[in-house]
């Protein structure tokens, strides 16, 4: 019977597939391609049967893909069957995504076992993760909501539990750190979070206490249930800030009335009863966590920066504060520095150590000891950058980082009891000149076999980099966490190889005589021949080695463009101000550069001023960094291939900058001209050589630009003006048009132009009756999206304005009623696609607007915004989309022949490649012969997400924030980078690889047929000659 | 709509009134008038206007309407008859070319007039001067009409000079709110501006298309101007009289409602299709209903052939 079942299932499957195939035929359009595809499909199924001997790691991949094939079996089958034949190719094309966690806020080393390899990190990107301390890879990662809702307030770690307080005290969660599973989760009462701590009793930690503004609650560590909750006394006047528990079943809550007194409330852990409540005068104190620490047997130690003294208070006796002036300890204090204290409590069930650090200056730490009310200086560290306590077993040591020279710091361990330096504990940390200064020190200590203390450190620097170092200074791994927040990026072509560049350089130089030119040509061709022979030799040499051993290590020295320009340099700008150059083929970071003067809320704009095409001039990128508050901007000019700062000095920008625009004009060194408009409407050019200014003067009347002031709803157009005096040419602007959208009704949320490097191959669309519908291809068109200020679901709307950026003419104005943002817009060719939330139907909807000139072109040779009197025809259609989206971008190819796809980043982490033909306002509601002729898909209101459209398979990209597309040298291929918390790079083929021969292309057959034909012609020619001759003889 | 009334009295006078129609032929005719008898026409129209006002009859103004009067000779008594005729078709009259406006018109029942200003300067520094006034009718369906000044001789020559140096011809209208009931409410500070190249203005013989754009709630948000033809070909405009009278096509545009997904129609179509399918029960059968005998036959065949040996599980590998 079992056999029967197996068989029938199989038959069902086969018939289902056949049915699906037949249905595809019935659908009718593009049946030939479908035929080819389904042939491929069956072949791929057959191949899987044959490829069962692929290695273990890859077979799972293959089978997984096969599941995809069987599910969908339509659009991208060809691609997948390709990967089935050579499974390793998938790793070349689709880089495994790079996963990041963000800037580390809390970190703990797992100390349960000596051999444990886990580092727990909670970050400012609301991520909680465990890193492998040997390799730096992620064990597991939990990504919470963005914004304050998912903000991690505290991380407490005990044994194999990690307790997190999330979202300003909204949620209490416990995670099992071994597997990363959730133990329990509790929703807490409302109230803003103040502090959390583990509470131990008789050496065992059983509870966790959470202090909020008005309430303190205790929870069991095992299941999260609330043990008790108590209102804090006088919480209106007293600001309770911190908690302390010394392991004796009492919880001390410390509150303060600023500049008046400290309030101490002691709760019993058993039932939450108030044991004691005292107030102690402390008029100099304003913030407990910033200036106090609990040391030793419950002694509160506070530092007073005005009188430069330490104040101690016994929390158990609570008599009064004892003042110890720092001068009595023989210490002098930097008057501008606010000193701080660091104590260490190795176990929440025990008292803290009586030793503590006092930071007296930016580079000065003191190790002090509280001994029977007396403070003893154990050691003075000067200079010292960072310090930290760490406990392993019974031993506690202090790690101190001190600067050694400009490029290196040394870290040493000191005994915490005596302040003596431990032998053989020096570790050298090399400061990256392109990185930031060290910011935090996370130390992992362990006991060696001889009972001495060994350690490793994780250094966190200002540029969000984590570096894990082992003695004596070997870097085990680094994580560039700045890449978790990429703001903008560009893909730059790699330079030519030396020989190619040599050849190119020949044309670049000025001609100097016929003979020298010939000689130069000969020499460069000799060099090329040499390189070719070397290449052949390398091929021959590599062919003998097994394939896995051939490694193409990419380094900054051997970077060169490949045949099809598929490998590019990804220049990424992160919000921390660190720039990266990443090789798109391997994902390796080739250069990094940290800009240390970047303001916190900076806006970035990256522009490629000169590409690699102009050898011997180096490529040049310019980064505009603008402070959002003041509007003041700086320019950073660098070489995108090597990351080095350029020799060119950018102009100083004393005025706030309103707008920057990169003109297609070039100076004599082939650098595109960057214009910067300041708030006085004065324009400065960069580079501003005489040549540039002359060109600008000639073309000024045709340089238009626009400014958007969304706070006033003002869109205004300007024209460049030049005023030349005898010495220099002044650039200014004049306003030529103005459109004002009243802010009482709607707000401008985004303005999208077209990408300047976009090419459109076809000016029109061939209709079913063989006539041509011409596209309205206005390169100056702007799509302005507005949202209504009224958010009521019946009255809210979204406005779409299409405005010509040169003349300010409103080409089209549409209103999507009962809709709300966030709106995602893509504007390209002659279409605008936008996505919004429909409040009426409570769903996400896509809408597409297409513009056509009609059956005749007004002026087919040139497009001028100033001479297009007729308004275009506007077509629009909307669709239901079953998911919300995070970001959207269109594919881009070299010449624009390939059909377009929309790349949609979904909140689930998938990246969907949606063919544009599904978003086409000409999709007919009733199918006619003509629409079938035109290959139009019949209209259906819903866009279905097909699983085979996901281009990243199972490699989900966390919190995808942007997608960057760039053309490659192959027309069929578009390079895609998705960035967010993770970075993922791949290639897409919207029209399949029509310009690439398949790797199963039968060269032998074709060439043998060719040869056969050739010989047949030769022979028959010969025979014919002989026959003619014979006939002539007759 | 295309209405044409030809009346011949004494064989001397023609009257053409059009609501809207093919403009090219129409404009030619108009130019003829403007070239030949500008002053007579103007004086006649002015008289007609005064008469209209005196009679106190309100005219309902419609958008995109043109009045063209063609008069060869104009004795006074004929003019009186003509005015009577004018009243007959007064409800179709809306805008008026080549009229000198002394003072701005009184606000209509639910409308008001705002100045339309233009500027064309050699140094491209905007100095706006009155070009005419726009009569805006507020309400649910706003409409607009225009009364415009003629260009003086100085202005004509200046416009030609500006065109020669490729300067700009700018217009501006004040920001207004079209849904307001009272006059105090429609005024807002600021202007909306637009431009064309002055040469395009000259070469099109002052034929321009001005569009006013409003937003959903009736605020004027933008103005655009294009000329027909729009190109600058460097044609010399010989006769200065061509540049005297504006030939303006004016419209007001409110945003269109973008369509939502059309589910109703689609569902209807689906139902129709399923009805069609329902008529053919053969198609509706399930997979097992269609092929049960094949499956059963195959199963029996396999059981018979394989009953001797235990199942090898080889069948699965093929998938």
| The pLDDT value given to residue A349 | 81
Query: Per-residue pLDDT tens for B228-260?
Result: 888 888 777 766 667 788 888 889 888 999 999
Task: Answer yes or no: are the C-beta atoms of A413 and A452 closer than 8 Å.
Answer: no
Give the one of B213, B257, B311 whose C-beta lies nearest to A817's C-beta.
Answer: B257
- H helical segments located in A164-232: none
Region A298-318: what's the mean pLDDT?
84
Region A30-50: what's the mean pLDDT?
38
| The pLDDT value given to residue A246 | 83
A10 touches chain B (CB under 8 A): yes
Contacts of B299 in chain A (CB under 8 A): 4, 7-8
pLDDT: is A394 or A848 the higher one?
A848
Which residue of A11, A12, A740 to mutate against B (max B Cβ within 10 Å)?
A740
pLDDT over 70 at A331, yes or no: yes
Q: Is-above-0.80 flag for pTM?
A: no
Contacts of B272 in chain A (CB under 8 A): none
A709 touches chain B (CB under 8 A): no
| The pLDDT value given to residue A54 | 31
Q: Which two tokens stand for residue B224?
A: 């655009």
Percent of chain B surpassing pLDDT 90:
10
Q: Give the span between the Cα atoms of A808 and A801, in whole angstroms.
A: 11
Query: Per-residue pLDDT tens for A445-499?
Result: 888 888 888 889 999 999 899 999 988 888 999 999 999 999 999 999 988 766 6
CB contact under 8 A, A809 and B265: no
Q: Give the span between the Cα atoms of B230 and B204, in whole angstroms.
A: 7
| The pLDDT value given to residue A932 | 87
CB contact under 8 A, B191 and A738: yes
Which residues, at least 6 apart from A609, have a Cβ–Cβ distance to it below 8 Å?
A620, A621, A622, A637, A662, A671, A672, A674
CB contact under 8 A, B263 and A880: yes
Q: Which two tokens stand for residue A481?
A: 């966490």
Q: Give the span between the Cα atoms of A958 and A949, in whole angstroms.
A: 18
Name the closest residue on chain A to residue B231, using Cα atoms.
A867
Query: Per-residue pLDDT tens for A130-144?
Result: 999 889 899 999 999
CB contact under 8 A, A878 and B258: yes
| The pLDDT value given to residue B240 | 66
pLDDT over 60 at B34, yes or no: no
| The pLDDT value given to residue B157 | 86
DSSP A572: E
| The pLDDT value given to residue B285 | 67
B269 touches chain A (CB under 8 A): yes
Look at residues A716, A759, A692 and name the one whose alpha carbon lies nearest to residue A900.
Answer: A759
| The pLDDT value given to residue A726 | 64
| The pLDDT value given to residue A400 | 92
CB contact under 8 A, A940 and B266: yes
B301 touches chain A (CB under 8 A): no
Q: Is B140 exposed, middle or buried (0-12, 13-18, 19+ CB in 10 A)?
A: exposed
Contacts of B175 in chain A (CB under 8 A): 740
Q: What's the gap in Å between the CA of A480 and the closest CA on chain B?
A: 45
Is residue B183 helix, strand or coil? helix
Contacts of B193 in chain A (CB under 8 A): 735-738, 808
pLDDT over 60 at A630, yes or no: yes
Q: For residue A549, what pLDDT band results from cuts at 50, 70 and 90? A: low
CB contact under 8 A, A808 and B224: yes
Per-window interface: B 216-245 vs A, CB < 8 A: 216-217, 219, 221-222, 224, 226-232
pLDDT over 50 at A918, yes or no: yes
Question: What is the domain partition of chain A in residue ranges?
Answer: 90-187, 383-484, 485-507+562-650, 656-740, 1005-1033
| The pLDDT value given to residue A545 | 67
C-alpha of A19 from chain center: 43
B179 touches chain A (CB under 8 A): no
Contacts of A803 in chain B (CB under 8 A): 222
Region B87-107: what's the mean pLDDT?
41
Is residue B143 helix, strand or coil? strand
- Identify the sign of the CA torsion A596, A599, A601, A604: negative
Q: For residue B135, what pLDDT band results from cuts at 50, 70 and 90? A: confident
Q: Which two tokens stand for residue A734?
A: 């004049």
C-alpha of B133 from chain center: 18
Q: What's the gap in Å between the CA of B265 and the closest CA on chain A?
A: 8
Q: What's the gap in Å between the CA of A825 and the closest CA on chain B?
A: 15
Region B163-169: what's the mean pLDDT?
87
Q: For residue A980, what pLDDT band results from cuts at 50, 70 and 90? A: very high
Contacts of A10 in chain B (CB under 8 A): 315-316, 318-319
Q: What's the gap in Å between the CA of A866 and the closest CA on chain B?
A: 7
pLDDT over 70 at B126, yes or no: yes
Distance (Å) of CA B231 to CA A56, A868, B118: 70, 8, 20
Per-window interface: A 190-229 vs B, CB < 8 A: none
CB contact under 8 A, A3 and B213: no
Name the closest residue on chain A to residue B226, using Cα atoms.
A869
Q: For residue A219, what pLDDT band results from cuts at 50, 70 and 90? A: very high
Q: For residue B185, what pLDDT band results from cuts at 50, 70 and 90? A: low
Give the one of B166, B254, B266 whose C-beta lies nearest to A939's C-beta.
Answer: B266
pLDDT over 90 at A768, yes or no: no
Look at residues A106, A15, A113, A13 and name the one whose alpha carbon lies nearest to residue A66.
Answer: A13
CB contact under 8 A, A741 and B221: yes
| The pLDDT value given to residue A502 | 62
Q: Which two tokens stand for residue A832?
A: 């605008």
Contacts of B221 in chain A (CB under 8 A): 739-742, 810
Q: For residue A361, what pLDDT band results from cuts at 50, 70 and 90? A: confident
Q: For residue A842, what pLDDT band results from cuts at 50, 70 and 90? A: very high
Region B27-34: what's the mean pLDDT?
36
Give the one of A739, A880, A941 whose C-beta lies nearest to B221's C-beta.
Answer: A739
Per-window interface: A 816-835 vs B, CB < 8 A: 816-817
pLDDT over 60 at A757, yes or no: yes
pLDDT over 70 at A15, yes or no: no
Give the one of B222, B255, B265 whose C-beta lies nearest to A814's C-beta.
Answer: B255
| The pLDDT value given to residue A38 | 39
| The pLDDT value given to residue A888 | 94
Contacts of A49 in chain B (CB under 8 A): 317-318
Distance (Å) of CA A1034 to CA A1023, A1026, A1030: 17, 12, 6
pLDDT: is A125 or A56 the higher one?
A125
- H helical segments located in chain B: 23-36, 38-55, 76-88, 153-164, 183-186, 198-203, 263-279, 281-284, 287-306, 314-317
Q: Which two tokens stand for residue B214?
A: 């409003």
Task: Answer yes or no: are the C-beta atoms of B168 and B195 closer than 8 Å.
Answer: yes
Contacts of B176 in chain A (CB under 8 A): none
Percent of chain A surpassing pLDDT 90:
34
Which residues, at least 6 apart from A681, have a Cβ–Cβ distance to it below 8 Å?
A658, A718, A732, A733
Give the one of A810, A840, A876 whose C-beta lies nearest to B224's C-beta.
Answer: A810
Q: What's the gap in Å between the CA of A46 and the closest CA on chain B?
A: 8
| The pLDDT value given to residue A877 | 93
Name the closest residue on chain B to residue A925, using Cα atoms.
B266
Q: Which two tokens stand for residue A71?
A: 């599910």
For domain A90-187, the CATH class is mainly beta
CB contact under 8 A, A13 and B318: no
A169 touches chain B (CB under 8 A): no
Name the closest residue on chain B to residue A840, using Cα atoms.
B260
| The pLDDT value given to residue A831 | 94
Per-window interface: B 181-220 vs A, CB < 8 A: 188, 190-197, 200, 209, 211, 213, 215-217, 219
Percent of chain A surpassing pLDDT 70:
87
């Amino acid at each position: 019977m079992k056999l029967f079942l197996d068989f029938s299932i199989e038959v069902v499957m086969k018939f289902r597939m056949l049915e699906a195939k037949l249905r595809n035929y019935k659908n009718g359009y593009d049946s030939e391609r479908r035929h080819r595809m389904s042939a491929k499909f069956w072949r791929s199924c057959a191949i899987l049967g044959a490829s069962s001997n692929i290695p273990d790691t890859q077979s799972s991949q293959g089978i997984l893909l096969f599941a995809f094939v069987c599910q969908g079996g339509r659009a991208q089958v060809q691609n997948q069957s390709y990967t089935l034949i050579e499974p390793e190719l998938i790793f070349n094309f689709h880089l495994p995504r790079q996963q990041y966690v963000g800037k580390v806020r809390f970190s703990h080393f797992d100390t349960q076992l000596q051999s444990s390899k886990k580092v727990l990190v909670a970050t400012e990107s609301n991520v909680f993760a465990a890193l492998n301390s040997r390799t730096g890879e992620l064990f597991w990662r939990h990504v919470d909501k963005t914004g304050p809702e998912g903000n991690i307030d505290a991380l407490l770690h005990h044994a194999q539990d990690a307790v997190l307080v999330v979202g300003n005290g909204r949620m209490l969660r416990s995670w099992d750190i071994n597997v990363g599973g959730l133990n329990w989760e509790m929703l807490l009462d409302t109230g803003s979070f103040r502090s959390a701590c583990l509470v131990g009793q008789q050496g065992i930690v059983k509870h966790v206490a959470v202090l909020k503004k008005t309430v303190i609650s205790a929870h069991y560590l095992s299941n999260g249930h609330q043990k008790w909750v108590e209102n804090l006394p006088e919480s209106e006047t007293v600001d309770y800030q911190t908690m302390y528990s010394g392991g004796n079943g009492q919880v001390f809550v410390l509150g303060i009335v600023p500049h008046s007194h400290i309030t101490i409330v002691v709760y019993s852990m058993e039932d939450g009863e108030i044991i004691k409540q005292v107030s102690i005068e402390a008029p100099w104190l304003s913030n407990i966590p910033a200036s106090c620490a609990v040391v030793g047997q419950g002694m509160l130690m506070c530092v007073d920066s005005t009188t430069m003294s330490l104040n101690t208070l016994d929390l158990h006796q609570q008599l009064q504060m004892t003042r110890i002036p720092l001068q009595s300890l023989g210490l002098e204090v930097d008057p501008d520095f606010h000193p701080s204290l660091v104590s260490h409590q190795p176990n929440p069930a025990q008292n803290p150590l009586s030793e503590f650090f006092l930071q007296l200056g930016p580079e000065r730490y003191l190790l002090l000891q509280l001994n029977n009310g007396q403070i003893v200086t154990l050691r003075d560290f000067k200079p010292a950058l960072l310090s930290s306590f760490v406990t392993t077993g019974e031993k506690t040591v202090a790690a101190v980082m001190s600067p050694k020279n400009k490029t290196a710091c040394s870290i040493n361990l000191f005994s915490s009891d005596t302040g003596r330096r431990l032998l053989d504990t020096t570790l050298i940390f090399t400061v990256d000149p392109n990185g930031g200064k060290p910011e935090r020190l996370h130390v992992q200590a362990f006991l060696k076999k001889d009972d001495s203390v060994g350690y490793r450190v994780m250094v966190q620097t200002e540029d969000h980099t984590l570096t894990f170092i082992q003695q004596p200074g070997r870097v085990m791994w680094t994580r560039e966490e700045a890449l978790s927040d990429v703001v903008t990026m560009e893909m730059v072509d790699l330079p030519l190889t030396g020989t190619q560049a040599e050849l190119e350089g020949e044309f670049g130089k000025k001609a100097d005589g016929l003979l020298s030119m010939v000689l130069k040509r000969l020499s460069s061709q000799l060099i090329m021949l040499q390189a070719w022979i070397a290449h052949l030799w390398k091929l021959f040499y590599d062919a003998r080695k097994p394939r896995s051993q051939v490694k193409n290590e990419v380094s900054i020295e051997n970077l060169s463009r490949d045949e099809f320009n598929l490998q590019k340099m990804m220049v990424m700008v992160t919000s921390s101000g660190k720039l990266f150059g990443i090789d798109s083929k391997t994902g390796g970071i080739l250069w990094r550069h940290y800009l240390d003067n970047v303001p916190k809320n900076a806006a970035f704009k990256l522009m490629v001023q000169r590409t690699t095409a102009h050898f011997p001039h180096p490529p040049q990128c310019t980064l505009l960094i603008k402070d959002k508050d003041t509007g003041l901007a700086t320019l950073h000019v660098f070489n995108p291939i090597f990351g080095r700062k350029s020799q060119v000095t950018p102009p100083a920008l004393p005025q706030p900058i309103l707008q920057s625009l990169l003109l297609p004009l070039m100076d004599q060194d082939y650098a595109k001209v960057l214009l910067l408009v300041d708030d006085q409407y004065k324009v400065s050019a960069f580079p501003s050589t005489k040549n540039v200014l002359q060109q600008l003067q000639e073309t000024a009347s045709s340089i238009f630009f626009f400014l958007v002031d969304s706070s006033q709803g003002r869109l205004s157009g300007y024209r460049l003006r030049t005023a030349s005096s005898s010495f220099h040419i002044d650039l200014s602007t004049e306003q030529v048009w103005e459109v004002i959208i009243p802010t009482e009704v709607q707000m401008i949320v985004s303005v999208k132009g077209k990408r300047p490097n976009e090419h459109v191959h076809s000016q029109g669309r061939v209709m079913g009756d063989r006539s041509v519908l011409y596209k309205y291809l206005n390169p100056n068109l702007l799509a302005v999206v507005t949202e209504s200020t009224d958010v009521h679901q019946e009255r809210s709307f979204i406005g779409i304005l299409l405005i010509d950026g040169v003349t300010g003419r409103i080409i089209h104005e549409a209103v999507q009623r009962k809709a709300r943002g966030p709106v995602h817009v893509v504007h390209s060719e002659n279409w605008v696609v936008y996505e919004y939330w429909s409040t009426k139907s409570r769903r996400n909807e896509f809408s597409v607007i297409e513009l056509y000139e009609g059956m005749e072109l007004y002026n087919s040779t040139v497009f001028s915004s100033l001479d297009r009197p007729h308004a275009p025809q506007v077509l629009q259609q909307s669709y239901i989309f079953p998911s919300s989206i995070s970001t959207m971008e269109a594919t881009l190819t070299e010449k624009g022949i390939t059909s377009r796809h929309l790349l949609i980043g979904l909140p689930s982490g998938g990246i969907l490649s949606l063919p544009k033909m599904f978003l086409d306002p000409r999709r007919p509601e009733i199918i006619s012969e003509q629409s079938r002729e035109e290959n139009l898909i019949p209209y259906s209101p819903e866009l279905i997400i097909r699983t085979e459209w996901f281009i990243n398979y199972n490699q989900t990209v966390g919190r995808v924030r942007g997608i960057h597309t760039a053309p490659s040298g192959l027309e069929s291929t578009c390079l895609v980078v998705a960035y967010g918390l993770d970075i993922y790079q791949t290639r897409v083929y919207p029209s399949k690889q029509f310009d690439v021969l398949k790797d199963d292309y039968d060269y032998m057959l074709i060439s043998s047929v060719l040869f056969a034909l050739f010989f047949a012609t030769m022979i028959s020619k010969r025979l014919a000659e002989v026959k003619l001759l014979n006939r002539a003889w007759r | 709509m295309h209405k044409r009334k030809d009346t011949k009295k004494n064989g001397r006078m023609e009257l053409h009134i059009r609501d809207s129609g093919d403009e090219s032929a129409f404009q030619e005719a108009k130019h003829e008038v403007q070239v030949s008898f500008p002053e007579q026409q103007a004086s006649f129209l002015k008289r007609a206007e005064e008469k209209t006002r005196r009679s106190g009859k309100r005219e309902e103004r419609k958008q995109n309407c043109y009045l063209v009067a063609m008069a060869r000779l104009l004795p006074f008594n004929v003019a009186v008859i003509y005015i009577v005729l004018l009243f007959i078709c007064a409800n179709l009259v809306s805008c008026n070319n080549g009229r000198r406006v002394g003072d701005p018109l009184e606000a209509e029942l639910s409308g008001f007039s705002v100045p339309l200003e233009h500027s064309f300067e050699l140094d491209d520094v905007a100095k706006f001067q009155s070009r005419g006034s726009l009569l805006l009718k507020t309400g649910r369906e706003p409409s607009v009409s225009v009364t415009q000044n003629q260009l003086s001789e100085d202005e004509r020559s200046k416009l030609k000079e500006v065109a020669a140096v490729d300067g700009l011809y700018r217009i501006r209208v004040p920001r207004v709110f079209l849904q307001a009931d009272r006059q105090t409410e429609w005024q807002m500070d600021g202007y909306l501006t637009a431009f064309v190249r002055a040469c395009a203005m000259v070469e099109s013989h002052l034929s321009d298309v001005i569009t006013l754009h409003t937003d959903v709630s009736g605020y004027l948000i933008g103005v655009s101007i294009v000329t027909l033809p729009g190109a600058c070909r460097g044609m010399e405009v010989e006769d200065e009289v061509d540049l005297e009278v504006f030939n303006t096509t004016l419209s007001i545009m409110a945003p269109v409602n973008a369509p939502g997904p059309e589910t109703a129609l689609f569902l209807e179509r689906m139902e129709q299709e399923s009805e069609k399918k329902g008529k053919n029960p053969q198609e509706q059968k399930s997979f097992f209903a269609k092929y049960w005998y094949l499956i059963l036959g195959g199963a029996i065949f396999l059981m018979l052939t394989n009953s001797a040996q235990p199942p090898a599980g080889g069948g699965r590998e093929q998938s």
